[in-house]
Structure 1
Amino acid sequence: MIQIKILIENTVFQPDVCAEHGLAIYLKTRDHTLLFDAGQTAGFLRNSSVFGTPLEEIEKIIISHGHYDHCGGLLPLLEKNTRAEVYCKEEALIPKFSDTYQEKRQINLPLIHAYKKHPSRFCFVKENHELFPGVWIISHIIQKTKFENDDAKLYCLSENQFIKDPFDDEIFLLIEDDNQLHLITGCSHRGIINMIHTATMLFPGKSIKSVTGGFHLRNKDEQRIQLVAKYLNESQIEQINVCHCTGIEEYLVIKKNFRGKTAYLSTGMLVKL
C-alpha cells in the first residue's frame, strides 16, 4: 500500500493549518518514506507538526522542477532533516523566469540557495533512476503531444538569452505496488498526457492504476482541457487525484468525463492507493 499525505496545497478545508500556491506531498511506500516537492514556504513544516507527520523520517526528497512553489521550503527542511538527500535535475538550477506581472522575475532562487548551502546533499538525475526497488524517478518525458507545453510567459536563460522554457528539468515519480504503477507529478509542465505515455512506453507490461498531482490546466483553453479529460477517460487508469495547478473548474471537467474514481486533494488530505 502507498499512502499520500498532502502537507500543503492551494486549498485547505480544516482549521489550524495553512494553504498556499505550492505543493508538498508526503509519501509512504511499504518500506520507504519520501517527500515529493517542498512547497512555496516553510508552511508545510508547520502543517506537519499539526498532522503529526514525522519529517525526520524522510529518506529522500524529490523536487519535480525548479519553480519556487515546489522548492521554497526546501532549505528549512534540510536544516530540520539532516540526512535526506535531494533528487532533481541539474537543469533546475538554470535561471528561470516568469513575466506574469509584465516584468521578468526569477522563480527558482529558493532551489539555488538550498543547493549553495547544502551542495553535498544534492543528487542530480541524468537518466531515469530507480531510487529504491519499485520506485523510479523518470527524467526523460516523451513528447507525444504538441499542445501541452505552451507556457508563453515562462522562460529560462540559454547563452545569456531568454528562451521559452522547455522544462528539461521536469521529473515525475513512478511507484510499483502489487504489479501496478502509481504516477506522481508536480506540475506536468511537459504535459500529463506525455507523462502517462512515457510511463506506458517504459513499462509496457504494467498498468497505471493511479495518477496524482498537478495537471497544469488552470485557466487553459477549453479544447486542451477536453482533450486531456478524453485521454484520461480512454486510458486504463482507475483513479485520478488532482491538486495545485490543476484548477477546481478544470478538475470538475475531468470528474464529469472520467469513468473511474476522482478526487481533489486539498491540504491535509490522506489517500491510500
Structure 2
Amino acid sequence: MRIYVLVEDYSGYESPFLAQHGISFLIEKAGKGILFDTGQSAEPILHNMRLLGLDPSSHIDYIFLSHCHYDHTGGLLGILKAIGRRVLVIAHPSIFRRHFVMKPYLRDVGIPFRREEVEELADLYLAPKPLEIVEGLYSTGEIRNREDFEQGHIGVYTLKDGQVMEDSIMDDMSVVAKTSEGLVIVSGCSHAGIVSIVKHAIRMTGERRVRAVIGGFHLIDAGDERIERTVKEFKELGVEEVYTGHCTGLRAEAAFQEAYGERFHKLHSGMVVEF
C-alpha cells in the first residue's frame, strides 16, 4: 500500500511541490488508485502529480470525497477533466446540501458546484454506510458514535425545510485499509472526531492493531484539555504512527510530536508513505 500526499497546507522545506489550504491523497492498493479528496482546485494537484510521475488518466480509478467542504472538493471537476474518462465518485448522500457559515459574514463553504456538473463527467456512488472500495480498503461510512469530548458545534449551518439549522457534518467519512501490520486510517478533516473515527474503524473491521493514522485532525481551535485527551486516547488505542497536518493545528502537532517522537510525521505536499 502506497499513499502519495498530492496537496497539503505545507509544501516542505526547499520543495518544488505546491501547497494549498486543503488536502488530497492518492492511495494505491490492490492494483487500484483511489484519489482521496481534491483540495480547493485541481492545478496544484496536477502540478504535483507531474513531479511525482503520476498520470491522472492511468493512476486514478476512484475518487473518494471525505466531506463537503470546498478545500476537500473544489478540485473535483478539474481532476475529472484531466482523467478524461468516467470514474466512480464515492461520497455521502448529503454532500451536495447547502452548507455555510455566518461569521464574520454569510459565506458558502460547501461543495462549490452542482451535482449535475459532476454527473456529466463521473458516476456518483453516494453511500452512508461502510463500503469496500477495493480488497481490504473500506469507506467507514458516517460516524454516528462520537466521543463526548469530541462533540461541539464549529459554526457551520445548513437549511432544512427552509429553516437554518446547525450542521453536524454527518457526511464526514474516512477510509480504512487492512494491512498485515494493522489498520491504516486516512481522514480528511476528522469533523466526526479523530478518536471516534479510530474506534469506529476498529469496531468495523474487528482489527485492534492500528498501524497509522493519517490526515487532518481538526484540533486547530481545540483547547489543551481536548488535545491532551486525544493524544492519550491514541496511545491507549495503540496507534503506532501519526501523520498529520492541514487542520490539526500547531499546538496539537507539538503534542503529538512530544508523545510520538520519530513516529510523528508532519504531512507535506509530495510526501510518499508506504506500508
**Residues 144 and 197 of structure 1 are in contact (CA less than 8 Å); yes or no, is this contact kept in structure 2?**
no
**Residues 29 and 134 of structure 2 are in contact (CA less than 8 Å); yes or no, is this contact kept in structure 1?**
no
Under a length normalisation based on structure 2, what TM-score does the superposition of the two structures give?
Answer: 0.92
Q: How does 1:113-128 map to 2 (within 5 A)?
A: 113=114, 115-119=115-119, 121-128=123-130
Which residue of structure 1 aligns with residue 192 of structure 2?
190
Q: Deviations over 1:104-158 (max 9, x none)?
A: 2111242x33x32232521111321111121111113142412323243111222
Which residue of structure 2 aligns with residue 232 of structure 1?
234
1:46 offset after TM fit, Å?
2.0
Percent sequence identity over aligned pairs: 26
1:9 offset after TM fit, Å?
0.6
1:138 and 2:137 correspond: no
CA gap of 1:151–1:12, structure 2 versus 1, over 3 A, is farther
**Residues 66 and 93 of structure 1 are in contact (CA less than 8 Å); yes or no, is this contact kept in structure 2?**
yes
1:205 offset after TM fit, Å?
4.0
Look up the equivalent residue of 1:89 and give its one-letter code.
H
Which residue of structure 2 aligns with residue 9 of structure 1?
8
Which residue of structure 1 aligns with residue 49 of structure 2?
48
**Residues 181 and 211 of structure 2 are in contact (CA less than 8 Å); yes or no, is this contact kept in structure 1?**
no
Runs of 4+ in 1 over 6 A off after TM superposition: none
Paired with 2:269 and 2:133, the residues of 1 have a C-alpha distance of: 26
Q: How many matched pairs?
A: 269
1:31 offset after TM fit, Å?
1.9
Query: What SS does the corresponding residue of 1:242 show, helix, strand or coil?
Result: strand
Give RMSD over aligned pairs. Answer: 1.7
The counterpart of 1:89, out of the listed 92, 105, 128, is 92
Look up the equivalent residue of 1:150 and give its one-letter code.
G
CA gap of 1:5–1:70, structure 2 versus 1, over 3 A, is same
1:258 offset after TM fit, Å?
3.3
Paired with 1:265 and 1:152, the residues of 2 have a C-alpha distance of: 24
CA gap of 1:109–1:259, structure 2 versus 1, over 3 A, is closer
Paired with 2:67 and 2:111, the residues of 1 have a C-alpha distance of: 12
Paired with 1:223 and 1:206, the residues of 2 have a C-alpha distance of: 26
Q: Deviations over 1:207-259 (max 9, x none)?
A: 22111001001121111111101111222111111121112331111121237
Query: What SS does the corresponding residue of 2:63 show, helix, strand or coil?
Result: strand
CA gap of 1:22–1:205, structure 2 versus 1, over 3 A, is closer
**Residues 147 and 196 of structure 2 are in contact (CA less than 8 Å); yes or no, is this contact kept in structure 1?**
yes
Paired with 1:266 and 1:32, the residues of 2 have a C-alpha distance of: 23
The counterpart of 1:58, out of the listed 51, 57, 60, is 60
**Residues 101 and 156 of structure 2 are in contact (CA less than 8 Å); yes or no, is this contact kept in structure 1?**
yes
For structure 2, the residue ranges without an aligned partner over 5 or more in a row are none
**Residues 209 and 237 of structure 1 are in contact (CA less than 8 Å); yes or no, is this contact kept in structure 2?**
yes
Which residue of structure 1 aligns with residue 202 of structure 2?
200
Under a length normalisation based on structure 1, what TM-score does the superposition of the two structures give?
Answer: 0.93
For structure 1, the residue ranges without an aligned partner over 5 or more in a row are none
Which residue of structure 2 aligns with residue 99 of structure 1?
102
Q: In terms of mean alpha carbon deviation, does 128-137 or 196-205 score higher?
A: 196-205
Q: Deviations over 1:25-55 (max 9, x none)?
A: 0111242211100001122112212222222
Look up the equivalent residue of 1:66 and give its one-letter code.
C
